[in-house]
């Protein structure tokens, strides 16, 4: 009886977590949303602006030194059970130089992994998030080699918020790793890269193990199950006459939006796309409507540039995606930072400090993660494991 009770109490102990590359707190919010019994004992990020946001929301400022300077002794002091890592994605993006491990921005991640065999109590759990493309990089190969040598089993996913009912196309790579004797609930997927969330949801529906196996029928079902974009908007009840007033005040002519030049008398004024930009780039814009069930990924350059950085919202109630006249008549606007945060599934009480500029807010969100997706992964990763 005593051993049984002791085991139960041991299982109830919170996981001690280290949050590397913590950004604006997406990992910590995911732990909370996933109802994981965990305590973040330290967060690490070199970006002072991101740390301002993290501190504003959680009351704790992350460690701001260079992660590469951390030693095995430093990490041992935290006595952590789990490491959560969202390292820089630039070495692996399709638009970048794809230098992988030879890119200086990859060095700190590899340094952290190389410390695993050097510490007295290696983590039991490891979680990595990055862009699609990481899975074919030499950094990925080195990561799996290190994890295997240190007795970890892995399951990998490429998932998008679209697969969880959110009308947002943002596929990302995820690696879930557990050190033996811990194991996954579905060990049949060990060493597999899955493109669907079946194991997380307890379902084999749309279970695909490669990008090429994804069917149009499965994708159609995903889109049908998504909520419309209008459910994620913060300015739903803005009157048409107010829109007309806002549009009349928008007069910028540059293809790069200069923050601070717009009138703030209207809460939406700074988010409308100037007509000159619509005329110049309209054919290259990804335009969505409140009833749409999909929008494109917002990058860190959203609002600064209109081409290839994320979707723009048509606000003219007289037009629909099936009935478009002139692009100029759609009254296009940028999604607000709060709306981008909503599509990333950040909670309602998430806030930016007042001193964080609009551009900085978009950049920080563009570098963040989908809380809704990661929360599901965390539920799966941390569930039913004794220590």
Catalytic residues: 89
Distance CA 140, CA 191 (A): 13
Cα–Cα nearest to 83, from 132, 122, 117, 46: 122
CB 52 within 8 Å of CB 84? no
- Picking from 283, 293, 271, the residue whose alpha carbon sits closest to that of residue 327 is 283
H-only helix segments in the chain: 2-12, 26-33, 48-58, 72-76, 107-114, 138-149, 198-201, 216-225, 240-248, 275-281, 337-343, 358-366, 371-382
Give the alpha-carbon dihedral of 10, 14, 20, 24, to 10 degrees.
170
Cα-based torsion angle of the residue sequence 297, 299, 304, 310 in order, rounded to the nearest 10 degrees: -10
Chain centre to alpha carbon of residue 49: 18
- Strands of 147-219 (E only): list them: 152-159, 172-179, 193-194
> What is d(CA 42, CA 67) in angstroms, rounded to the nearest whole number?
12
Is 187 in contact with 140 (CB distance < 8 Å)? no
């Amino acid at each position: 009886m005593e051993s049984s009770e002791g085991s139960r109490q041991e299982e109830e102990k919170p996981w001690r977590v280290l949050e590397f590359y913590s950004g604006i707190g997406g990992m910590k919010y995911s732990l909370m949303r996933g109802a994981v019994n965990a305590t973040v004992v330290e967060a690490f990020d070199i970006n002072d602006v991101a740390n301002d946001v993290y501190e504003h929301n959680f009351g704790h400022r992350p460690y701001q030194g260079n992660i590469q300077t951390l030693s095995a002794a430093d990490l041992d002091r935290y006595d952590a059970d789990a490491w959560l890592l969202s390292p820089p994605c630039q070495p692996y993006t399709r638009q970048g130089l794809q230098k992988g491990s030879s890119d200086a921005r990859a060095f700190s991640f590899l340094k952290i992994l190389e410390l695993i065999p050097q510490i007295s109590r290696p983590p039991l759990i490891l979680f990595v998030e990055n862009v699609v493309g990481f899975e074919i990089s030499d950094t990925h190969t080195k990561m799996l080699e290190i994890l295997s040598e240190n007795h970890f089993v892995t399951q990998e996913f490429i998932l998008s918020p679209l697969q969880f009912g959110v009308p947002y196309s943002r596929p990302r790579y995820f690696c879930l790793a557990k050190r033996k004797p811990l194991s996954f609930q579905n060990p049949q997927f060990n060493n597999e890269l899955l493109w669907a969330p079946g194991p997380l949801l307890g379902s084999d529906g749309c279970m695909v193990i490669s990008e090429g196996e994804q069917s149009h029928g499965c994708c159609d079902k995903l889109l049908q199950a998504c909520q419309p974009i209008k459910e994620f908007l913060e300015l739903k009840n803005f009157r048409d006459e107010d829109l007309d007033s806002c549009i009349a005040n928008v007069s910028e002519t540059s293809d790069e939006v200069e923050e601070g030049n717009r009138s703030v008398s209207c809460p939406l004024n700074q988010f409308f796309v100037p007509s000159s930009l619509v005329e110049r780039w309209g054919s290259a814009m990804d335009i969505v409507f409140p009833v749409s069930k999909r929008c494109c990924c917002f990058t860190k350059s959203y609002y600064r540039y209109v081409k290839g950085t994320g979707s723009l919202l048509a606000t003219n109630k007289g037009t629909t995606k099936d009935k478009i006249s002139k692009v100029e008549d759609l009254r296009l606007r940028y999604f607000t930072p709060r709306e981008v945060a909503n599509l990333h599934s950040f909670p309602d009480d998430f806030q930016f400090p007042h001193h964080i500029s609009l551009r900085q807010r978009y950049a920080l969100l563009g570098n963040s993660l989908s809380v809704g997706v990661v929360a599901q992964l965390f539920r799966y990763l941390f569930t039913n494991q004794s220590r």
